[in-house]
Structure formats: structure tokens, C-alpha cells
Structure 1
Amino acid sequence: MSVDERQAKPRFIDMLRVGEAADFLGVCKETLRNWDRSGKLVPKRNPVTGYRYYKQEDLERFFKKVVEERGDA
């Protein structure tokens, strides 16, 4: 594999998988999948496996927004 091919592939090293993201937010994995289907929290997808991956900062931003909407801030 050439350097160009490796650079063109998305990197998921610094991202959380569904279970890790669910633990981070304190919800179950199915809740994350539901949020994905409804468009509330859209993950990156691995083009080969189709697995969902989340950036921690996206999760933090989403959580903050939910808390603010609920008035729990």
C-alpha cells in the first residue's frame, strides 16, 4: 500500500466505537443507533465494515446541547 493510499483512508484511531460512546454518554448502544437513524447524532462510518465511530468532542457538544434543552444546566 502506498503512502497516498494510507493517507486517503479515514482514520478511526482517536474515535470511540458505539459501546465506548454509549458508556461515555451514559446511554445504551441502541439509543445511539436510534439517534443515528433519526439524525440527532450522526457518526462517521468505516467504509469497509460500516461500523459507527464518534469523536469525543462531538459527543460532548451533543450532550451539552441536550442538557441545555432540558434545562438541567
Structure 2
Amino acid sequence: MTKLSDYALTAEAADILGVSQNTIRTWSKDGKIPVHRNPANGYRLFKRRDLEQFLKRIERSAKQKPK
């Protein structure tokens, strides 16, 4: 069962990924990060697991690029 604590709001997601809130909004709109909506208020919610996986993908791609 998924709990609300499994999700981060936009500000926290931005902090986790080290980017601005507008970047998080853009990435979610572009489909780079899955986004869910709170049915009660419409706020964007990001699964913490999705954010961790996104960071891992970025790290892998950075390691593969030649310096």
C-alpha cells in the first residue's frame, strides 16, 4: 500500500534533485519524471523511489560520457 509519506511535493523533489521547482515542473510536464496529483488539492506529488531512479539514470549517463 502506498502512503503519502512515499511522495514528495515539488519543493522537496527539487531539493532532492538539486534543481529549481520550475525545473521539476518542466521535467514532469515533459515526462522525464513521473508525476502524480493529490486528488484532494491537485498538488504535484513525486514518488521518492522515482526520484532516486532518476538520479541513478543521470549518474550512469554522466559516467558514460567521455571527458
Taking structure 2 as the reference length, the TM-score comes to 0.79
CA RMSD of aligned residues (A): 1.8
Provide the aligned length of Structure 1 versus Structure 2: 63
Match of 1:63 among 51, 55, 63: 55
- 1:41 matched to 2:36? The reply is no
State the Cα distance separating 1:49 from its structure 2 match: 1.4
Q: Secondary structure at the match of 2:24?
A: helix
Whole-angstrom CA distance in 2 between matches of 1:32 and 1:23: 10
Unaligned runs of 5+ in 2: none
What is aligned with 1:53? 45
Aligned structure 1 segments of 4 or more residues deviating by more than 6 angstroms: none
CA contact (8 A) 2:33 2:54 kept: yes
